[in-house]
Structure 1
């Protein structure tokens, strides 16, 4: 940090001399091996940092998604690289073409190299549309092959590093044993502890073998919650024995496998927090130090989940939340509601004796070791934008992604062995797409399926309905005049009686009906079910006696709401490659071999799935 930047940052604080406390040595070892030169840089850099600079390294703000639209906010956030010397940033969505120059600008503003992270849970292509889209974790598990997870990890890490992202914040180690979980669902490798453990370890190996840092989340396990911690403090009210047999093992396996970092969760686990009150795990010393550091022996980097989530903000302001998290044993404060307030509060807590200087030193040492392991201490943080973009979506990466996606497709039911369908026998196809209210749907979530069918069948009519149509959603699918009212949107895109009758008429004229459900897992959504009206309509269509295929894009659990369907296909995702593969599976372009990683209550057990040979 420059002298000028320090003077600006310290207008509200008093500089502490550089004779700072050094970290103690009675800690679990850092899981990523450093060379002597890397460790020397860590210790030399740490020794030269003041308290203010050390705490700055623990702060990780979020960069606005649309920098051009929110330039003032970007300038405010980016300035933190100089004023408080943040340790890094988390970057959001858009494209690599938009984001890589922003990362370069951030790096240029910082005296120390920045650690850049992003939520690349299904590859870089999940967040940046010009990168490779990889199958969701549950889809990877549906292949039955942990090697699929390792390949996904390698591609994620390679494309991340190409773009200047070092820490892709994966894998998810949550065991999704609650079918009503509104936020984990397909983000998990499934409901089986051993499967989640093996796939998480394989993904970790892939990420770190390709030079990025993996992150096991959401510790100590978010798979059995019925609420979204983005919306409130979620609860896992299970006893210690159950936690040790279900929630803990995937994290323990990832730690044994050398995972470099762990992310906390904003959930309350009464069995682990005796004497601490009703608080999130993120601020529980019992969990973050006693369990993670002590019992599990984890010596790597520990970060919070986003501190803007209501599981934290309902209880604490940004300063108190940051202090409590550091007291609990966390190293990195990710996406505070007020990054500067969090920084100041931690400094003040050290001065007041509420946080030890040695604890700060240990945390910053881990941040610096992560940077050194990544090679950031050698410089070269500026990314060649053209070279990065040229390396994304390589033919090899796309072929791997397409192959993994095909292997994940799961046929749960095929009465009368109707699959694969012969296009010559079905010339009038109706495709009914039922979307939830997620604001992130795009035509790319639909068109690959319809267009792939259209290339094989003579006529495909498409009807699209939204469970809760809003202009911000449906405007992506059709030009909407500015004067269009909410009532008009509901009449055109909602499942009104008139719309339902129109769909029935189309179905009566069809000789094949393809019904796709698009139930997306997203923050602040809170629901993963179909509406009563949509279920009733689908049942009417199924009762017409026409051949009908039910395909779930996203949550597979919705299939259990329609047990009448004679043909059911689960995909676990909604990427363009997934949509394309589902249509190809219907017509037998490849052999379908996927197996369910979860139980669909009342419908199918874990491991269910039919092998459907390719059509000759």
Structure 2
């Protein structure tokens, strides 16, 4: 703080080249090698970098889009993150603005860090924006513990495509008012701790079936439809003081004069729609420029960085060609263009550091808040609760897909009701079918993946088993995962279907208490399910 203010007050002393360097936000990786760390320190020093965005590792989803590289986990990564931030700050002439994607907590990028429910879980809450405010506040608290100033959240995309491979669970739902209300609560909670916020992915990444990490999604909606729906949450967050807006890598021809240009590179979308129409005066940050939807379009080093800047992005996230990008910007951009972006970013940095409160001594314990969220989000999505009681009194067999049978859900129920539990992890399909024949079945689903790739990680054999059980038995089903998974199943054949969303222990225990008749299902699914809608994403 003390070494930042003089530089902030004397920003005019920076050269034009140094001001351009401030607009670059290279990726920093928590689990980098010493040589990689030194290379980034050198980049920061030589090019006057203004900000960093932290990711888990070079084998994580941020760079390993095809999932080929093996991700190595590091249980000390939270403390490693703190040390790296301090080290990179020492390398900077002026303090760096540190950012991270912490949509559901630092756990999105960091092992052994606090995790909160996904946005889709929060979307099920009924009139409990106070709890979402607390999520934003707690995550911001944890960011400050590490030295992070800028949480690149919330996602305000309206997820109205069940096959969306990259947004889905990261969205609050399919209703624009619901998405806006909850995103505003999260934003206000974040800002209450002095941490910066970011609405993403403009102009709306919800209605796509292509992952923009891999290819360029094209949204063929009319301008009127987009203004009425997709742009609505962004307009609401801008009016409520969101600090920045991230531009998504998606083509929206109706907003860019019929061109298939990615929004990240579209002057019509950034300078026209976002700046002029929505009157946003804050910082515009690009989505990661290493993503294949745009990076493969510009093989010449630095060209993509220049194109993104020229289109209206103030901050170039995950810029991989800093030197070449700076050279092209200095060559092609007017001084006024550079000064305007620099001023917006410098003001954001000033806001972050002047709002900086004392760093906490530890991260928040999420258990208490997660318990309340589990209680308020549990959603009965099909059937009737009255069908559950006969299972408790008349007997049933428990079957678990995706976890062992000794899970907290079955464990909590077993304290009150005697039953036999089986799992596909330890029993064959034949053994399970023999054990459940002619009996009520309490079926629990724990898909390994939260994204729809490869049927959420569930094998075809297990999908067939679930469908067979639903078709031939009296079933009460509890689902711990992305609710879109149910679209792969004839879930309507169940007597009652309950979505608990998360597999956290407290969510499993709350769901068990619901089965035992001790709590109600208070949530409401924020999306529409239609059996057999989703398709496998290979």
TM-score range, shorter chain: 0.7 to 0.9
Q: Is the 8 A contact 1:186 1:573 kept in 2?
A: no
Q: Is the 8 A contact 2:24 2:51 kept in 1?
A: yes
Following the alignment from structure 2 to structure 1, what is the Cα–Cα distance between the partners of residues 247 and 198? 10
After TM superposition, the structure 1 = structure 2 runs for residues 523-602 of structure 1, keeping only pairs within 5 Å, are 525=453, 533-559=461-487, 561-562=489-490, 563-601=492-530
The residue number in structure 1 matching 2:66 is none
Kindly tell me: are residues 329 and 568 of structure 1, through their superposed partners in 2, closer, same or farther at Cα, counting changes over 3 Å? Answer: same
Shift of 1:530: 6.0
Q: Is the 8 A contact 1:454 1:460 kept in 2?
A: no
Please tell me whether residue 302 in structure 1 is matched to residue 290 in structure 2: no
- Indicate the RMSD between aligned Cα atoms, in angstroms: 3.2
Kindly tell me: are residues 577 and 128 of structure 1, through their superposed partners in 2, closer, same or farther at Cα, counting changes over 3 Å? Answer: farther
Please tell me whether residue 246 in structure 1 is matched to residue 199 in structure 2: no
Kindly tell me: are residues 416 and 151 of structure 1, through their superposed partners in 2, closer, same or farther at Cα, counting changes over 3 Å? Answer: closer
Please tell me whether residue 80 in structure 1 is matched to residue 43 in structure 2: yes
After TM superposition, the structure 1 = structure 2 runs for residues 13-92 of structure 1, keeping only pairs within 5 Å, are 42-45=8-11, 47-67=12-32, 70-92=33-55
Following the alignment from structure 2 to structure 1, what is the Cα–Cα distance between the partners of residues 422 and 98? 42
Please tell me whether residue 364 in structure 1 is matched to residue 342 in structure 2: yes
**Could you tell me which of 230, 249, 263 is aligned with 1:281?**
263
**Could you tell me which of 156, 162, 179 is aligned with 1:173?**
156
Where 1:155 maps in the other structure, the secondary structure is helix
* C-alpha distance after superposition, 1:9-45 (max 9, x if no partner): xxxxxxxxxxxxxxxxxxxxxxxxxxxx999853512
Please tell me whether residue 345 in structure 1 is matched to residue 325 in structure 2: yes
The residue number in structure 2 matching 1:118 is 100
The residue number in structure 1 matching 2:372 is 403
**Could you tell me which of 369, 376, 392 is aligned with 2:364?**
392
Following the alignment from structure 2 to structure 1, what is the Cα–Cα distance between the partners of residues 262 and 284? 15
Shift of 1:332: 1.1
Where 1:364 maps in the other structure, the secondary structure is helix
Kindly tell me: are residues 220 and 55 of structure 1, through their superposed partners in 2, closer, same or farther at Cα, counting changes over 3 Å? Answer: same
**Could you tell me which of 253, 260, 267 is aligned with 2:243?**
260
Shift of 1:257: 0.3
The residue number in structure 2 matching 1:4 is none
* Aligned length, in residue pairs: 509
Q: Is the 8 A contact 2:98 2:147 kept in 1?
A: yes
The residue number in structure 2 matching 1:291 is 273
Following the alignment from structure 1 to structure 2, what is the Cα–Cα distance between the partners of residues 142 and 116? 31
Following the alignment from structure 2 to structure 1, what is the Cα–Cα distance between the partners of residues 141 and 158? 27
Kindly tell me: are residues 581 and 106 of structure 1, through their superposed partners in 2, closer, same or farther at Cα, counting changes over 3 Å? Answer: farther
In structure 1, stretches of 5+ residues that fail to align are 1-36, 435-442, 466-491, 493-497, 605-616
The residue number in structure 2 matching 1:138 is 120
In structure 2, stretches of 5+ residues that fail to align are 57-73, 534-538
**Could you tell me which of 88, 110, 120 is aligned with 1:106?**
88
Following the alignment from structure 1 to structure 2, what is the Cα–Cα distance between the partners of residues 316 and 460? 59
Where 2:497 maps in the other structure, the secondary structure is strand
Task: Give TM-score, length-normalised by structure 1.
Answer: 0.75
Following the alignment from structure 2 to structure 1, what is the Cα–Cα distance between the partners of residues 257 and 348? 33
Shift of 1:581: 3.3
Q: Is the 8 A contact 1:55 1:343 kept in 2?
A: no
* C-alpha distance after superposition, 1:501-541 (max 9, x if no partner): 24323444975432304263449x48659665443221212
Task: Give TM-score, length-normalised by structure 2.
Answer: 0.85
Shift of 1:72: 2.6
Shift of 1:243: 0.5
The residue number in structure 1 matching 2:352 is 374
The residue number in structure 2 matching 1:6 is none
The residue number in structure 2 matching 1:204 is 187
